[in-house]
A and B are shown apart, each in its own frame.
Chain A
Amino acid sequence: MTKEERLKKRNRAEKRFRFYGLTSILVALLFVVILVQNIFSKGSSAFKKTVITTEVFFDQELLEIQNGASQDEIIEADFYDIMIENLIKAYPAKDREEEDQLLKLFSGDAEIEIKKVFLKDNNLIGKTITLDLTASDDIDQLHKGNYPRDLPEERRRISDFQLVIYDYFVENKKISKNFNNYFFNNGDSRDPELAGIGGALVGSFYSILICLLLAFPVAVLASIYLEEFAPKNKITDFIEININNLAAVPSIVYGLLALQILLATIQLPRSTPLVAGITLALMTLPRIIIPCRASLKAVPPSIREGALAVGASKFQSVFHHVVPLALPGTLSGTIIGLAQALGETAPLILIGMVAFVVDIPSSPVDPSSSLPVQVYLWSESAERGFVEKTSATIMMLLSFLIVMNFIAVYLRQKFEKRWN
Chain B
Amino acid sequence: MNIVLIFLITIFSISLFFYGKSKTKTISIKDNIKLNALPKFYGYYLVLWCSIPALVFLLVWSLFEPVIIKSIIIETAANQGATFNDKNEANLIYEKIKAIHLGTYFGDIDSILKESALAYAKFINLFTNSKVVLIFGIIIASVIYSLKKIKNNNKARDDVEVILKGLLFVSSLIAILTTLGIIFSLLFESIKFFSVINIFDYLFGTNWSPQRAFVRDASSITAAEFEELKDAFGFIPLIAGTSFIAFIAMLVAVPIGLFSGIYMAEYASIKVRRISKPIIEILAGIPTVVYGFFAALTVGPFFRQVGENLGLTVSSESALAAGLIMGIMIIPYVSSLSDDVINSVPQSLRDGSYAVGATKSETIKQVVIPAALPGIIGSVLLAVSRAIGETMIVVMAAGLAANLTINPLESTTTITTQIVMILVGDQEFDSPKTQSAFALGLTLFIATLILNYIAQRAVKKYREKYD
What is A's interface to B at a CB cutoff of 8 Å?
10-11, 13-14, 16-18, 20-25, 27-29, 31-32, 35, 38-39, 217-219, 221-222, 224-226, 229-230, 238-239, 242-246, 248-257, 259-261, 264-267, 282, 285-286, 289, 313-315, 339-340, 342-346, 349-350, 354, 372-373, 375-376, 379, 387, 390-391, 394, 397-398, 401, 405
Contact = CB atoms under 8 A, between A and B. Distances in A.
15 contacts: A13-B361, A17-B360, A23-B259, A24-B263, A28-B280, A222-B168, A225-B169, A250-B389, A252-B441, A259-B185, A260-B438, A282-B178, A343-B289, A345-B289, A354-B425
Nearest to B172: A222
A20 B389 CA distance: 30
A252 B389 contact: yes
Contacts of B290: 35, 39, 343, 375, 394, 397-398
A387 B466 CA distance: 52
Interface in B274-297: 276, 279-280, 282-283, 285-290, 292-294, 296-297
B437 A379 contact: no
A31 B437 contact: no
B390 interface: yes
Contacts of A38: 294, 298
A285 B385 CA distance: 20
Given A252-B416, A343-B287, A398-B286, A285 B175 contact: yes
Contacts of B288: 343, 345-346
Contact of A339 (B169, B285, B449): B285
B319 interface: no
A242 B456 contact: no
Contacts of A246: 175, 178-179
A173 B256 CA distance: 53
A250 B448 contact: yes
A229 B165 CA distance: 8
A319 B387 CA distance: 40
B259 A315 contact: no
Interface of B: 63, 66-67, 70, 157-158, 161, 164-165, 167-169, 171-176, 178-179, 181-182, 185-186, 188-189, 255-260, 262-264, 266-268, 276, 279-280, 282-283, 285-290, 292-294, 296-298, 328, 331-332, 335, 359-362, 364-365, 382, 385, 388-392, 395-396, 416, 419-420, 423-425, 429, 437-438, 441, 444-445, 448-449, 452-453, 456
A394 B445 contact: no
Contacts of A289: 175
B142 to A, nearest CB: 22
B173 A239 contact: yes
A144 B446 CA distance: 50
Closest 10 CB pairs of A and B: A250-B389, A343-B287, A21-B263, A260-B185, A17-B361, A225-B168, A24-B259, A221-B171, A346-B391, A222-B172
